[in-house]
Amino acid sequence: MPWNWTKPLMLALVAVTAAGCATNKEELLTHGGRSMHDIWRQEAGDGGSGGNVAGRQLLDARQSLRRP
């Protein structure tokens, strides 16, 4: 039977697993000292500052579209 492909496949699987276990979460997924809340607020468009005009306009637009 042709089992020639299993040894390279297993070797590759072991290598990927070992590389995955050797990395650090902080090295792989850096966040620059910001919390998830800071990132969420910045990406949501209010830039991390609460109560600005654009944020208020967005809330007003959402309120007008809300069903009664």
Q: Where are the domains of the chain?
A: 36-68
Looking at the whole model, is its pTM more than 0.75? no
* Alpha-carbon distances, residue 61 vs 4, 8, 42, 57 (angstroms): 63, 58, 19, 6
Question: What would the pLDDT profile of 16-62 be if each residue is shown by its tens digit?
Answer: 888 877 777 777 777 788 888 888 888 876 555 555 777 788 888 88
**How confident is residue 12, by pLDDT bands cut at 50, 70 and 90?**
very high
User: Cα–Cα distance between 12 and 6 in angstroms, integer?
Assistant: 10
Question: Tell me, what DSSP letter sits at residue 34?
Answer: -
* C-beta of residue 14 within 8 angstroms of C-beta of residue 5: no
Burial code (b: 16+ CB inside 10 Å, e: under 16) for 6-15 equals: eeeeeeeeee
